[in-house]
């Protein structure tokens, strides 16, 4: 029994190794992305263009034996373009019938690129899929494949013509991950690696099956948490509601994500219990998109991350 746990943990570790064959640096981001996956959550990735967000997500799909689809969001993208639509199809006998044509959301990993460029209506269609793991079309409900992840990206610059995600919708994302530029050595490695060969030339091995990932999700929920660590998570989230620099604090959903994320991180690191460090490491990615600093703090240059760090002290 315990051997199976170790086997899955080892395989997830191998996933990291395989992904790093293609992705240089970004170890922390990859780790949190995997946390999100083993916690059955969805992630919002924010970075400037050209930082390998899409490549990372696609590589993760490649090494985990999961269906992958990518949706490039634009203002004219319709919800049915995401979820699918009913089309009239003629059968062999000549009868015509409505058949539901599944959209790109019917995949295990859905990369919603630049989600803030889609209209609110289309964004909402993603949200139903994320929250309910099902799609309703033509009065019928269709279950999405399991495991199911939406990894949405958004660009912090070039905001013209975008529809920023409302707070309620951002709250549905378990984590918000930000990608920084690589350092000199990492960039040199990127240049060396990708000017001598193409991305497709680098082969990655498929090391984790869907069933193993689903099993990992069950195990993560079973990771025990000490009462004091659970209480600290509650206090952390509660503190965002009373902090003088915060206009809107985080919801209990944030507390759930914080504890679950800490469990996922502990599991990835081969532990059977959640430590304080797990909680602290997950606090910023869990909370930063769920709180809004007020005007005064914003004018003083304080960000959501600054406030969370202050609460953590």
Partner 1 sequence: MTGAEELLQAEKEIRREGAKAAFLHSAIETTLVFVAVFLVIDSSSLSWLPATVGTDAVTVPGSAVAAVVAGVVFFAVDAVLVYRSRTVEYFEEANPQVEEALRTARDAARRNEETEMAERLYSDVLEELRTTSSEGFVSVRRIVGSLALVVGVGALLLTASIGGMGFGDGLFGNNPFGGGGDSASDQGQGGGGSGGERQYDDLQDPGEVLGETGEVTRGENDQDVELRRSGTGGDGSGETGSAGGGNDYTGGVEVQSQRAEYSPEEEIEDAELVKEYNLKIRGEE
Question: Which spans of this chain sit near partner 1 (rule: CB under 8 A)?
Answer: 1-2, 5, 219, 222-229, 267, 271-276
Give 160 or 228: the residue with its C-beta nearer to partner 1: 228
Round to whole Å and give the CA distance between 149 and 175.
12
> C-beta of 41: minimal distance to partner 1 in Å?
18
> C-beta of 10: minimal distance to partner 1 in Å?
14
> C-beta of 6: minimal distance to partner 1 in Å?
9
User: In this structure, how many other beta carbons lie within 10 angstroms of the beta carbon of residue 106?
Assistant: 20
CB-CB contact of 213 with 147 (8 Å): yes
Round to whole Å and give the CA distance between 231 and 85.
46
Give 272 or 303: the residue with its C-beta nearer to partner 1: 272
Quick one: the chain helix, strand, coil %, rounded to 5? Answer: 50, 15, 35
> C-beta of 221: minimal distance to partner 1 in Å?
9
Backbone angles phi, psi at 141, to 5 degrees: -110, 130
Give 120 or 270: the residue with its C-beta nearer to partner 1: 270
Give 25 or 264: the residue with its C-beta nearer to partner 1: 264
Give 59 or 255: the residue with its C-beta nearer to partner 1: 255
> C-beta of 98: minimal distance to partner 1 in Å?
45
- 108, 114, 115, 116 alpha-carbon torsion, rounded to 10°: 170
Give 141 or 272: the residue with its C-beta nearer to partner 1: 272
β-sheet with 149-154: strand ranges across: 68-72, 109-113, 149-154, 43-46, 175-178
CB-CB contact of 274 with 198 (8 Å): no
> C-beta of 11: minimal distance to partner 1 in Å?
16
Using DSSP's 3-state secondary structure scheme, residue 39 falls into coil
């Amino acid at each position: 029994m315990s051997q199976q746990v170790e086997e899955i943990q080892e395989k997830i570790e191998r996933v990291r190794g395989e992904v790093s064959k293609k992705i240089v640096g970004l170890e922390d981001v990859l780790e949190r992305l995997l946390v999100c996956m083993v916690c059955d959550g969805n992630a919002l990735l924010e970075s400037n263009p050209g930082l390998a967000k899409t490549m990372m997500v696609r590589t993760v799909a490649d090494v985990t034996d999961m269906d992958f689809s990518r949706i490039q969001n634009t203002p004219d993208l319709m919800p049915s373009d995401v979820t699918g639509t009913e089309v009239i199809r003629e059968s062999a006998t000549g009868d015509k019938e409505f058949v539901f044509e599944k959209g790109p959301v019917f995949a295990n990993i859905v990369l919603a690129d630049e989600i803030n460029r889609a209209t609110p209506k289309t964004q909402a269609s993603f949200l139903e899929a994320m929250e309910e793991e099902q799609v309703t079309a033509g009065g019928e409900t269709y279950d999405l494949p399991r495991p199911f992840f939406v990894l949405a990206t958004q660009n912090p610059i070039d905001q013209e013509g975008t529809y920023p995600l409302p707070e309620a919708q951002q709250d549905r994302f378990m984590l918000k991950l930000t990608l920084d530029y690589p350092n000199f050595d990492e960039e040199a490695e990127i240049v060396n690696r990708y000017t001598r060969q193409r991305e497709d030339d680098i082969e990655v091995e498929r090391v984790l099956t869907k069933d193993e990932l689903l099993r990992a999700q069950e195990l993560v929920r079973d990771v025990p948490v000490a009462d004091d660590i659970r209480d600290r998570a509650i206090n952390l989230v509660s503190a965002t509601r009373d902090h003088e620099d915060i206009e809107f604090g985080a919801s209990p959903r944030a507390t759930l994500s914080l504890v679950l994320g800490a469990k996922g991180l502990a599991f990835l690191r081969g532990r059977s219990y959640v430590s304080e460090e797990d909680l602290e490491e997950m606090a910023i990615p869990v909370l930063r998109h769920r709180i809004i600093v007020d005007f005064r703090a914003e004018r003083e240059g304080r960000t959501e991350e600054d406030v969370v760090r202050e609460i953590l002290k």
